[in-house]
Structure 1
Amino acid sequence: MKNKKLYILAILAIAFTSCNKELDEVNINPNAPEIPQADYLLTGAIKNTSDTYWGTTNNLNSSLLFAQHWAKVQYTEEDRFIYSNSSFTALWSTGYAQSIAGLNKIVELADAQGNPNYKGVALVLRSWVFLLLTDAYGDVPYTQAGKIKQFVTPVYDKQKDVYYGILADLKSAQTALDPASGAPVISGDIMYGGNITHWKEFANSLRLRIALRIADKEPAKSQAVIDEIKAEGGNYINSNAFNAQLVYQVSPQQNPVAASFETRNDYRISKTIVDKLFALKDPRLPIYASKTENVTPQVYVGIPNGSTNSEASAIGLANSSKPGAYFLNPLAPAVILSYAELLFDRAEAAARGFTTENAADLYNQAIRASFDQYGISGNVVDDYINQAAVKYDPTNYKKSIGEQKWIALFGQGLEAWTEQRRLDYPQLTASVNTVLNGKIPVRFIYPGSEQSLNGQNYKNAVSSQGADLLTTKLWFDAF
C-alpha cells in the first residue's frame, strides 16, 4: 500500500511539472520582447518622470502653492498645508519604481551592447530624478536604489552624499556621451531626438545647478565642479531652442496641467505673483494669468495663498484668474531646465566669484531669455530691465537673482520652491490660516509606506536628518 501511494504521488508530481511547463509556454506573449529594449525604456522614463514633475501631486497641489505661483480657490486644505504621509507618494513611487528602475536597466543594456550614448543619456536622466527626490525629501536611497534583487530595503544616503554622487554620475555621463560620427546612435529620445551634443549641454547645465545647490555648504566643491566643466571644454544650454523639456502631444498624451483643467476647476494664480507682476509692469502677466471671466477692475486677480474655503469662495471662480492659456494648452512643454535658468546660474556663479564672467550682464541676459521663451521682445524688455526695482544689485545678488529667477520659473513648482528655499528670495509669508505656525513647508514628508516596508532605514534617516515634518530644513538649505 505504501509503495502504491508513492507511485501515485510520483505520477502526480510528473503531471504537475508537465502542466507547469505547458502553462509557462502558454503564458509567453509572442508579441513582447524577451529582453527589454532601451529605446522603449528611454521613452517611458522621460514621459513618466515629466508627467510626475509637471503633474498634480508634486506641482499643482504642493510645490506651486509653496512657491506661491498658484493658489487654491476650492478645497483649499493643501494651500493651508494640511497633508498626511500619503500626500507625497507620487514622486517617490514613480521616481524609484519606474524612472530609476528603467534607467538602471538602460545602463545595464548599454554596457552589454557597447552603446555608451544610451548609458550617458540614462545617467543624465537618472541624475535629474535623484535630484528631484533629494531636493524634496532630503536623505533618500541612492547607492542601493533600484537594485531590487540585491537590496529589498535600501538604505538612505545623506543628502550631501546624494549630491556628490549625482555630480560623479554626470561627469561619467559627460565622458560616455559621444556625438562623433560613427558613435552608436540612440532612439526613443523624445526630448532631443537623439542629438548627443544637446544631452552633453544638458548634463553640464545640471552640474552647474547642483554646484550652486551646495554652494552655501560646500563652496570649495562648487568651485571644483565649475572648474572641472571649464577644463573639459564643456558647453551649457545656449538657446531656448535647446531647453531641456518634453513637448507634449494631443490627448491622451497632453500636458498634465491641461489634463487637470479638463475635469477640475480648483486652481488659480496666486495673488503674490500677480501683485509682483503688476508692481513691475511685467509683460509676462497676461501669459502667466488668464483674465477673469467676469469683468473686474484689475482684469487679473490672484487668490491669496492659504485662504479658507469660505474666503476663496467669496472671491469666486469667475472673479479670479486661472493660469494663462499658454499653460493650459495641451501641447505646452514640461520644462526641466531652461536657457533662462542656466543664465541665472551663470550670473550667480560669477557673483560668488566662482567664475570671472560678468554677473550683471548674465543676469540681464537671463531676463531677456525668459521673455524670449514666451515670444516677448523689443523695447518692453529694455524698459523692464531698466527699472530700479529690476536692476541688478551686486551688494545683494541673492535678492536680484532670487526674485527674477522665481518669476522666470513660473509653473516649475519643484524647482521654483527649491530655489526660493536656497536663495531665501522672494521673502514669502504664510497665511494666518495655515497650520505650521507661520512657516511655509521646506520639504516633503516621506511616504507612509516607507515606515512599514523599509522601517529601520526610515528610522535611521529620521534620526540623522531630523523629524519627518514639513518644517525640518534640509542639508542644502543653509539659511
Structure 2
Amino acid sequence: MRIASVAPDKACAEIQKIKENDYGFFEAETGGAIVSTKSGYTNPLGELNCVWNETYMSANMESILVGYDDPRLGAYFEHCTDEALKGQYRGIRQGTCFAHSHYSGLSKLFVLQSTDAPLMTASEVWFLRAEAALRGWTDEDEEACYRNGVTTSFHQWGIYGVEDYLKSELTASGFIDTYDEENNIEARCKVTPKWNPQDDKETKLEKIITQKWIAMFPEGCEAWAEQRRTGYPRLFPVRFNHSRNGCIDTEIMVRRLNFPGTLQTEDPEQYSALMEALGGDDHGGTRLWWDTGNNNLE
C-alpha cells in the first residue's frame, strides 16, 4: 500500500498475491507480529518513557481521542499527575519550545521497558484491506473492513461495546494548552468515527487512515509513514519552525530523516548515489519517492 500512488498496478498485483497465499491475513485481535521482551529485549520507547521521562501524549492524540470520547485513551495514556489536573488526559503540542518543568505532570504513556513492541497488528491489516477495497483492488466491502479494523483494535486492548463508537458523529476537539494559550489551536481532524457510504472516496480514506493511525499506537514509525503518504489524520502544525532556512514546510512538517552526518565524508560514493536516488536536498523537507502528496483515488 505504500506505493499505491506511485505504482498502483504493482501495488494491486501484490494485494492479489497476498489474497491467494495459503497463510491468509492476521484477522483476530490476537494475531500480529511483535518483538517480545521475554528474552532480554528492552522496549526503547519504554526506556524513554520510564527512565528518560521524555514521552507524553501529543496534542494530536488529545484532540482526536478526547474529542471522539475514545475508550482506548485510558489504555494508551496515564492520567495527569499534576494536582490541578487530576483525572484528566492532557497532551503537548509539538514545536512549542516548551519547558520540561512545566509539562512534566501531563499524561505519560502506558509503555514500559518490558512491554512487547508491536510491528503489525490485525487491526492494521484490516485497515489495509479497507483501503484496498476503497481503491477497487479487491471485492471486499470497504465498510466491513473498516468496522473490523476498529473492532479488532478495541478488542486488542480488552475494550468491548464498540457499536456505540462506530455510530458516533463526534469530531476531534480543539487543543487548549495547559500553560500557554498561544499554543491553543482549533481541531484539524474533522471526520467522525461513523462510516457514511455516501461520502466521497477521499473522506472515506481519511476515516480509514485516521482510525489506522489511532490503532497503530504505540508503533510510531509506521503511523508517521502512513500520515506522510496520505496526509491523514490532519495534524497540528508546529508553532515555531526552526528548520534551517525554512527547509521543512510548517504545514506538512518533516518528510524524512537526513542521511547519517558522517556518510558524506566517510563514503562519498555511497552518499552521491543516495542523493541521486533521493532526487532532492538532504534535509527533512524533501519527500521520499513514494510520498507524492496525491492519493490518486480516482
Shorter-chain TM range is 0.7 to 0.9
- Counterpart of 1:366 in structure 2 is 149
1:413 corresponds, among 216, 220, 243, to 220
2:193 corresponds, among 372, 390, 397, to 390
1:356 aligns with 2:139: yes
1: CA distance, partners of 2:114 / 2:20: 39
1:257 corresponds, among 45, 48, 60, to 45
2: CA distance, partners of 1:225 / 1:406: 23
- Counterpart of 2:104 in structure 1 is 317
Aligned residues: 259
* Structure 1 residue 298: Cα displacement: 6.3
Equivalent residue of 1:337, what SS?
strand
1: CA distance, partners of 2:69 / 2:27: 28
1:471 aligns with 2:285: yes
| Contact in 2 for aligned 1:445/1:470 (Cα 8 Å) | yes
- Counterpart of 2:274 in structure 1 is 461
The aligned runs of 1:7-406 (5 Å cut-off) are 212-249=1-38, 253-295=41-83, 296=85, 299-310=88-99, 313-314=101-102, 316-318=103-105, 320-324=106-110, 327-328=111-112, 330-378=113-161, 381-388=162-169, 389-393=192-196, 394-395=199-200, 396-406=203-213
**Amino acid paired to 2:96:** S
* Structure 1 residue 418: Cα displacement: 0.2
- Counterpart of 2:231 in structure 1 is 424
Q: Which blocks of at least 5 consecutive residues in structure 2 are unaligned?
A: 170-191, 294-298
Equivalent residue of 2:254, what SS?
coil
* CA distance 1:262–1:386, shift in 2 (3 Å): closer
- TM-score w.r.t. the length of structure 2 is 0.81
- Counterpart of 1:83 in structure 2 is none
For residues 78-121 of structure 1, the C-alpha deviation after alignment (integer angstroms, 9 at most, x for no partner) is: xxxxxxxxxxxxxxxxxxxxxxxxxxxxxxxxxxxxxxxxxxxx
Equivalent residue of 2:127, what SS?
helix
2: CA distance, partners of 1:249 / 1:229: 30
| Contact in 1 for aligned 2:48/2:54 (Cα 8 Å) | no
For residues 333-390 of structure 1, the C-alpha deviation after alignment (integer angstroms, 9 at most, x for no partner) is: 1100100000000011000000000000110000011111111012xx1111111211
Stretch moving more, 368-377 or 239-248: 239-248
* Structure 1 residue 289: Cα displacement: 1.1
* Structure 1 residue 282: Cα displacement: 0.2
1:447 aligns with 2:268: no
| Contact in 2 for aligned 1:442/1:472 (Cα 8 Å) | yes
| Contact in 2 for aligned 1:249/1:255 (Cα 8 Å) | no
1: CA distance, partners of 2:45 / 2:118: 13
1: CA distance, partners of 2:50 / 2:152: 31
Percent identity between matched residues is: 31
Question: What is the root-mean-square deviation in Å for CA atoms of aligned residues?
Answer: 1.9
* Structure 1 residue 402: Cα displacement: 1.3
The structure with more helix, counted as a fraction of residues: 1
2: CA distance, partners of 1:234 / 1:286: 34
Equivalent residue of 1:406, what SS?
helix
Equivalent residue of 2:96, what SS?
coil
**Moved runs in structure 1, 4+ residues, more than 6 A?**
none
2: CA distance, partners of 1:269 / 1:427: 17
2: CA distance, partners of 1:321 / 1:231: 44
For residues 169-207 of structure 1, the C-alpha deviation after alignment (integer angstroms, 9 at most, x for no partner) is: xxxxxxxxxxxxxxxxxxxxxxxxxxxxxxxxxxxxxxx
| Contact in 2 for aligned 1:244/1:338 (Cα 8 Å) | yes
**Amino acid paired to 2:66:** F
Higher Cα Rg, which structure: 1
Equivalent residue of 2:34, what SS?
strand
1:433 aligns with 2:216: no
2: CA distance, partners of 1:283 / 1:331: 24
| Contact in 2 for aligned 1:274/1:302 (Cα 8 Å) | yes
1: CA distance, partners of 2:136 / 2:27: 22
* CA distance 1:270–1:347, shift in 2 (3 Å): same
* CA distance 1:253–1:229, shift in 2 (3 Å): closer
| Contact in 1 for aligned 2:34/2:117 (Cα 8 Å) | yes
Q: Which blocks of at least 5 consecutive residues in structure 1 are unaligned?
A: 1-211
* CA distance 1:261–1:228, shift in 2 (3 Å): closer
| Contact in 1 for aligned 2:166/2:193 (Cα 8 Å) | yes
